[in-house]
Amino acid sequence: MTKCGYVALVGRPNVGKSTLLNHMLGQKISITSRKPQTTRNNVLGIKTEGENQFLFVDTPGLHLNQKGAMNKYMNKAASTAIRDVDVVVMLVDRLVWTDEDEAVARRLEGLELPLIVAVNKCDQLDDKNVLLPHLQVLTERLSPNDIVPVSALRGMQLDRLESIIAKYLPESEHFYPEDQITDKSSRFLAAEIVREKITRQLGAELPYQMAVEIEQFEQDRGVLHIGALILVERDGQKRILIGDKGDRIKQIGQQARIDIEKLFDTKVMLKLWVKVKSGWSDDERALKSLGYDD
């Protein structure tokens, strides 16, 4: 009998959810960075391994004390994700338990689902003696079905995590063909890669007031031509993004092109434009038209 089920990856911002998803899939479908709010949408990552099909739902972390339409959208996405899944994997850090972790834990209370706790970033554990007491505290607070130390970045113990998750997958036909890795469109993935490069390059504020819209996406004689529009809120942000003599936007474009070529296994021509449009990032209708509406 085959198994198939939805597995929510939850946890506070920056704990490593998207990194974990990418490593499990062996493909980069969910963008990552050191900044919170990198992941805005729920991203489905599909992994078929023999009899088992895992439908991982990567979620934006819950964002505490944050206002604005984008934050509302992200928190809603994170909350709905845990309603319709078969298993929850909560990621926590190897050392600390914060208010943000506590907020996630509260959301999980009363859910009658198997809960697996993955204690992440264990590649950065100088003193191994601190892990055991931490695991004990986590076990008491969360009463998980299983708990496992991992490193999403280095791929430590992810096989073990996967076989633990497999125990809780319901018996079912597979929902997707075995070679499919996501439900997101190629356009979405391309836009996200551009957004990742900008998020990684720029300071703390801009990433939240920036969106990427794909205007052109055409294969022509072996080359994928992509045109992407980058929306920002203010003139100053446009200037920062473009950089001195256009060198920053050029760098962003080069980095994004390399990743997009890898993902689609084709030569890519990428053109980027920056446009100022005030107010869109706190405007629910504008967000909807940019695809933040599921």
Nearer to ligand GDP, 157 or 186 (CB): 157
- Does residue number 199 form part of the binding site for K ion (CB under 5 A)? no
Q: Yes or no: say if 189 and 43 are a contact pair by the CB < 8 Å rule.
A: no
Region binding ligand GDP by CB under 6 A among candidate stretches 82-90, 149-157, 275-283, 285-293? 149-157
Instruction: Count other Cβ atoms within 10 Å, centred on residue 11.
Output: 26
Type of residue at 176: Y
Residue 41 binding target from Mg ion, ligand GDP, K ion, none, CB below 5 to 8 Å by type: none
Residue nearest to Mg ion (CB): 39
Whole-angstrom Cα distance, residue 287 to residue 37?
15
Instruction: Work out how close the CB of 246 gets to ligand GDP at its nearest, in angstroms, rounded to a whole number.
Output: 27
**Number of residues this chain uses to bind ligand GDP (CB under 6 A):** 21
Q: Which of 22, 33, 37, 39 binds Mg ion (CB under 5 A)?
A: 39
Instruction: Work out how close the CB of 229 gets to K ion at its nearest, in angstroms, rounded to a whole number.
Output: 23
- Does residue number 151 form part of the binding site for ligand GDP (CB under 6 A)? yes
Region binding ligand GDP by CB under 6 A among candidate stretches 31-39, 70-78, 236-244, 245-253? 31-39
- Does residue number 33 form part of the binding site for Mg ion (CB under 5 A)? no
Tokens standing for residue 283: 């405007």
Q: Yes or no: say if 17 and 66 are a contact pair by the CB < 8 Å rule.
A: no
Site for ligand GDP in 53-92 (CB under 6 A): 61
Residue 124 binding target from ligand GDP, Mg ion, K ion, none, CB below 5 to 8 Å by type: ligand GDP
Whole-angstrom Cα distance, residue 175 to residue 32?
27
Region binding Mg ion by CB under 5 A among candidate stretches 10-18, 74-82, 92-100, 104-112? 10-18
- Does residue number 182 form part of the binding site for ligand GDP (CB under 6 A)? no
Nearer to K ion, 38 or 48 (CB): 38
Site for K ion in 14-43 (CB under 5 A): 14, 38
Nearer to ligand GDP, 194 or 224 (CB): 194
- Does residue number 38 form part of the binding site for ligand GDP (CB under 6 A)? yes
Nearer to ligand GDP, 3 or 23 (CB): 23
Query: β-strand 3-10 against 43-49: which pairing, if any?
Result: unpaired
Q: Which of 4, 7, 8, 18 binds ligand GDP (CB under 6 A)?
A: 18
Length of the chain measured in residues: 294
DSSP characters over the chain? --EEEEEEEE-STTSSHHHHHHHHHTS--S---SSTT---S-EEEEEEETTEEEEEEE-PPP-TT--SHHHHHHHHHHHHHHHT-SEEEEEEESS---HHHHHHHHHHTT--S-EEEEEE-GGG-S-GGGHHHHHHHHHHHH--SEEEE-BTTTTBTHHHHHHHHHHTPPB---SS-TT--BSS-HHHHHHHHHHHHHHHHS-SSGGGGEEEEEEEEEEETTEEEEEEEEEESSHHHHHHHH-GGGHHHHHHHHHHHHHHHHHHTSEEEEEEEEEE-TTGGG-HHHHHHTT---
Q: Which chain residues interact with Mg ion by CB under 5 A?
A: 17-18, 39
Q: Which chain residues interact with ligand GDP by CB under 6 A?
A: 11, 13-19, 32-34, 38-39, 61, 120-121, 123-124, 151-153
Q: Which chain residues interact with K ion by CB under 5 A?
A: 14, 38
